[in-house]
Amino acid sequence: MVVASQLRPGLAIRLEGKIYKVLTANYHAGQGKMGGATHTQLKNLSTGLLDQAFRADLRLEDLPIQKQTMEFLYSDADQCYFMHPDTYEQLGVPASVMGSRARFLQPQVPLAIEFVEGRQVNVVFPEIVESEVAETAPPTHQ
């Protein structure tokens, strides 16, 4: 269990029977008799984003996150496919998990995939990605 005032980005919690990943968490201390509050932005794979405020002393169930490094293979309209380098097991990650970052994927690039209770919740991209500009507009001089 974790207290709402200790929520941090990257944690996974269970709220009303659904699994959420904390994207942002801002704790605001209360004044006098007013208790503090934590304002969060949560991501659920099936329902999308949720903005939620919690009382600072509310206890929430935190869930362990497992990371597994896999290589990107290819993508289609609905899924991006990854392969475990040791077992050659392939895994399809829904495009909703990838978001707009999917266009930066390159074949055979190892990425960490985060799992909560056996379900993919996030793909961790490196801070820097090398890419090549294939075509650009000709220069204009003024």
Mean pLDDT (the chain) is 84
Domain with CATH 2.40.50.140 in the chain: 66-124
Residue 41, amino acid:
Q
The two structure tokens encoding residue 83: 């392969």
CATH superfamily, domain 66-124, is Nucleic acid-binding proteins (2.40.50.140)
Q: What is the pTM of this model?
A: 0.70
Q: Is the pLDDT of residue 50 over 80?
A: yes
Q: Which CATH architecture has domain 2-63?
A: Roll (2.30)
The residue among 42 and 48 whose pLDDT is bigger is 42
- Residue 7, judged by CB atoms within 10 A of its CB (0-12, 13-18, 19+), counts as buried
- What pLDDT was estimated at residue 45? 66
Long-range contacts of 97-101 (CB under 8 A, 24+ apart): 97/45, 97/121, 97/122, 97/123, 98/123, 101/125
The percent of residues above 70 in pLDDT, for the chain, comes to: 98
- CA nearest 27: which of 19, 37, 41? 37
**Closest residue by Cα to residue 75 from 46, 104, 48:** 104
Q: Where in the chain is the domain with CATH 2.30.30.30?
A: 2-63
93 pLDDT exceeds 80?
Answer: yes
Q: One-letter amino acid identity for 15?
A: L
Model confidence pLDDT, tens digit, residues 53-63: 888 888 888 88
